[in-house]
Amino acid sequence: MTILSIIQPDNPLLRRQARRVTDFSGDLQALIDDMIATMTAAQGVGLAGPQVAQSKRIIVARLPADEGSAAEYGEDAGKLYIVANPRVVWRSENKVSGVEGCLSLPGLLGDVERFESIEITGQDRQGKPIRLSASGWLARVFQHEIDHLDGILYIDIATAVWRPEEADSLAGEVSEAQ
Ligand code: ZN
């Protein structure tokens, strides 16, 4: 497995509409494994193909699995999600505001309104159709990652963006980067 470079907005690939995944053979399997390794190494909770300069509609996500996270996120904690060609097919009426960071925008945080719950369809890593329901932080991660596939960054839709002043607060938020 390889730790991939995470691109930043100076790379136009981050702003491009990613292409549908149609080939689930070895190259995609290697990319998925590399994306998981990259997300883990960067202590992120999600990663989308364009962030590693691959214009493909593929996302990976995993919420932390420490004790506190397990208490807060239940069965979502520590579970690995891999979704090709994800599409939001249902959205709750309710939206919630929350703090987001992004591995492609180091040193920034923002308040972003997201749907509290969503359902998405897509394909697993073998290309088999899947449908997932997500609420809370997991729903937020999915929305953030799916936006990446359309070239959208959270700073485009944030109600506030700031640069945390204190090293402490930055360190505390790194685990939430997506
Ligand atoms: Zn991101």
- The CATH number linked to 165 is 3.90.45.10
Q: Which pLDDT belongs to residue 154?
A: 98
Q: Which pLDDT belongs to residue 73?
A: 84
CA dist list (Å): 155 to 111, 121, 128, 164: 9, 25, 33, 15
What tokens were used for 70? 């397990």
Evaluate whether residue 2 is within a structural domain: no
Listed residue (26, 21, 157) closest to 100, CA to CA: 157
What is the C-alpha to C-alpha distance for residues 161 and 105, in angstroms, rounded to an integer?
Answer: 11
Ligand 1 centroid, distance to 104 Cα (angstroms): 6
Ligand 1 centroid, distance to 59 Cα (angstroms): 11
Evaluate whether residue 151 is within a structural domain: yes
Ligand 1 centroid, distance to 71 Cα (angstroms): 25
Q: Which pLDDT belongs to residue 71?
A: 83
Evaluate whether residue 3 is within a structural domain: no
| Percent of the chain with pLDDT strictly greater than 90 | 84
Evaluate whether residue 141 is within a structural domain: yes
Burial class (CB in 10 A: 0-12, 13-18, 19+), 109: buried
CA dist list (Å): 76 to 50, 64, 166: 24, 9, 30
Catalytic residues: 145
Evaluate whether residue 92 is within a structural domain: yes
pLDDT means per 10 residues, the chain with 178 residues, are 96 97 98 98 97 98 88 87 98 98 97 98 98 96 98 98 72 57
Evaluate whether residue 153 is within a structural domain: yes
Counted residue by residue, the chain has a size of 178
* Helices (runs of H) and strands (runs of E) counted in the chain: 5, 8
- Across-strand partners of 107? none
Ligand 1 centroid, distance to 2 Cα (angstroms): 20
Q: Which pLDDT belongs to residue 76?
A: 86
What is the C-alpha to C-alpha distance for residues 116 and 139, in angstroms, rounded to an integer?
Answer: 7
The three-point CA angle 12-16-20 to 5° equals 140
List the domain range (segments joined by +) for residue 29. 12-177
Q: Count of domains in the chain? A: 1
Q: What are phi and psi of 110, to 5 degrees?
A: -155, 155
Evaluate whether residue 68 is within a structural domain: yes
Q: How far apart are the first and last CA of the chain?
A: 20
**pTM of the full predicted structure?**
0.92
Evaluate whether residue 93 is within a structural domain: yes
